[in-house]
Amino acid sequence: MLDPNRLTENARNAIGDAQNIALEHHNQFVDTEHLFLALMRQSEGLIPNIIEKMGVSAADVQSELNQAVERIPKVTGTGAQSAQVYITSRLNRQLIQAEKEAKN
């Protein structure tokens, strides 16, 4: 499991933003699409600038991510715990891998 205390402040903020996106969309979990969308929404962030330098429209990528998040199943109704979302094992593995890459 990834230790959040080992993340940078920007990384923790991005994960928090991803959780907020999941909550806004009534998703029960935070996955890579939520985090990528959170990173793309950072107008002065590194990711949108890298995407643009690759010759890809950051707005198009953000639009595709919005559509991907919209397709994620929603949880609503009396049984929904709107303030509780969890990080998927897929996202956790990717964050751990990113941490390993950062160490190298």
pLDDT for residue 81? 58
- DSSP at 78: T
Residue labelled with tokens 């751990």:
96
Q: Using 70 as the pLDDT threshold, list the residues of the chain that sit under it.
A: 1-3, 78-83
Who contacts 75 (Cβ-Cβ below 8 Å, separation ≥6)? 26, 27, 28
Tell me what pLDDT residue 45 has. Answer: 84
Q: Quote the DSSP letter at residue 72.
A: S
Round to whole Å and give the CA distance between 2 and 90. Answer: 12
Tens of pLDDT, residues 68-92: 999 999 987 765 555 678 999 999 9
CA distances from 13 to 16, 17, 20, 38, 46 (A): 5, 6, 10, 9, 14
Which pLDDT does position 70 carry in this prediction?
96
H helix runs in the chain, sequence order: 9-24, 32-40, 46-53, 58-71, 89-103
| pLDDT, averaged across the chain | 88
* pLDDT value of position 102: 81
CATH topology of domain 4-103: Double Clp-N motif (1.10.1780)
